[in-house]
Structure formats: structure tokens, C-alpha cells
Amino acid sequence: MPEIASTPQPPYYAVIFTSIRTDGDKGYGVMAERMVDLATRQEGFLGMESAREGLGVTVSYWASLEAIAQWKQNVEHREAQRLGHSSWYADFKVRIARVERDYGG
């Protein structure tokens, strides 16, 4: 079952990662799963929501900009970023945003 992330009261941070894949798996599936597993165990990780339908839209939520910076520097994650740029993604964009308000559900 898909789930909407249970995030705390704002403010907190969102990393909006949008991507378009190249053809073929080339190790992407295994690495993507590993990155989700690793991200959820990072200090300051609050949740993640993801879907791919042509375009991939993944939003991860974090307690602070410092937590985001540390995750970006994680050694395994850096290798995944390198492979993402060189072979998995035809195009991508990362946006760092401060969640100021939320509602719904």
C-alpha cells in the first residue's frame, strides 16, 4: 500500500527530486532500493513520497538543511548520484524547499 508521509508540524524541509530515466535498468533498481533504505536511516529524515509515470517525482522530507547536506555527502549516496548523472537519468532537477504550511487528509 502506498502511504502519505507522516510529517511533523511545519516548518521542515522538502527535497523535490524530479527525473527522467534513460532506457534499461543498468543497476538502477537495486541502487534505488538501497538509497531508500539508507535515507530512512539518516539523522533528520522525516519521510518520503515517490511515484514514476514517465516522469519520476520523489519528495523526501527532512528536519533541517544540515540533515539534507549530510545525506548529500553520504559516501554511498555520492556514488549513486555519480551513476545517476552518468547513466540512469536523461534529465533531473533537485529543488530544496522549506515547508511552511500543510493540511488535508
Find all residues with CB under 8 Å of 92, minimum gap 6, and list them: 17, 18, 19, 20, 84, 85
In the list 16, 22, 66, 86, the residue contacting its own copies (rule: CB under 8 A) is 16
Three-state SS at 17: strand
* Residue 56 vs 74, nearer CB to its own copies: 56
Stretch of 22-30, 31-39, 47-55 contacting its own copies, by CB under 8 A: 47-55
Q: Are 100 and 15 in contact (CB under 8 A)?
A: no
Contact with its own copies (CB under 8 A) among 8, 10, 36, 78:
10
Given a contact cutoff of 8 angstroms between Cβ atoms, the answer to whether 40 and 48 are in contact is: yes
Applying CB under 8 A, the residues found at the interface with its own copies are 1-5, 7, 10, 14, 16, 18-20, 49-59, 91-105
